[in-house]
Amino acid sequence: MSAETLLYCMPYAGGSGRVFSAWQRFFHPDIKIVSVDYPGRGTRMREPLLDSIARIADEFAETMASRRHARYALFGHSMGSLVAFEVCHRLALRHGSRPALLAVSGHRAPDAPRQTPAMHDTSDAVFIAHLRELGATPPEVIAENDLMDLLLPILRADFRACETYAPAPGRMLSIPIAAYGGLNDAEVDAAELRAWRKETTGPCVNRLFPGDHFYLRDHAATLAAALQHDLRAALAATPDLATSHAAGS
């Protein structure tokens, strides 16, 4: 059996797996970064867009189950947190499989009420103004009409997926969760991150880093160090997964 642990990394709304392209250098070689693209985005641009967290999670859970890798973990930022969370439930219920760790970032716990109005069905002008406020889309990209014509359907689909998401009641994971966030994130506060502990019977750790909602851009190395630490702790606590992971950092 391979001693390698696969770390699936799921991007935020409008993002692609490319945001994690430089992450491997922050991790020991026995942890392999697997960047995820949702249908209709990134390397899967020619596929039909999915605008539902449930449908995206359905699709990816089946892909993961078919790989049958013994050691794996999931990390998601913002929208990616919801996708990763739902993938974990599907893997457990349909395939009896569980990751060593679910790491979520920049998103309130699934049951926490939404504090901001929905934006996915607003006018282009209002929607683009919101993108400017978020700071995720560079101003030079917003200024290019042809590029925005390409990006707006993707962004609206992702916003719709997040804003219409509702978790199924009565479910509980049994795996470790690590919930991360930016100290100056205007969208998610520390209490909303702490609420992730209600989603599992396993341990839950919370960590805050300098920065705003997109803190992972400027503090990738610091985040990766914490994530690697939490993943190794989770592996060590699971004897059948811990083999070959006791050493290294």
Does 58 map to a domain? yes
What pLDDT is attached to residue 244? 35
C-alpha–C-alpha distance, residues 115 and 45, integer Å: 31
Does 46 map to a domain? yes
pLDDT at 1 over 70: no
- Give the CATH number for residue 103: 3.40.50.1820
- Round the average pLDDT of the chain to a whole number and report it: 90
Least confident of 74-83, 134-143, 231-240: 134-143
What pLDDT is attached to residue 239? 61
Q: Is 126 exposed, middle or buried (0-12, 13-18, 19+ CB in 10 A)?
A: exposed
Q: Is residue 78 flagged as an active site residue?
A: yes
Does 65 map to a domain? yes
Does 151 map to a domain? no
Neighbours of 139 (CB within 10 A): 9
Give the tens place of pLDDT for each residue, 138-158.
888 888 888 888 889 999 999
Split at pLDDT 50, 70, 90, the class of 132 is: confident
What pLDDT is attached to residue 130? 81
What pLDDT is attached to residue 92? 95
- Domain of 64? 5-115+168-242
Does 56 map to a domain? yes
Does 221 map to a domain? yes
| Percent of the residues in the chain that have a pLDDT greater than 90, as a whole number | 68
Residue of 77, 89, 213, 245 marked catalytic = 213
Nearest alpha-carbon partner for 84 in 74, 72, 73, 71: 74
pTM of the model: 0.91
What pLDDT is attached to residue 66? 86
Residue of 35, 78, 81, 105 marked catalytic = 78
> Locate tokens 């700071």: which residue?
135
Does 122 map to a domain? no
Q: Is residue 213 flagged as an active site residue?
A: yes
Give the tens place of pLDDT for each residue, 22-47.
999 999 999 999 999 999 988 998 99
Residue, of 171 and 178, whose pLDDT is higher: 178
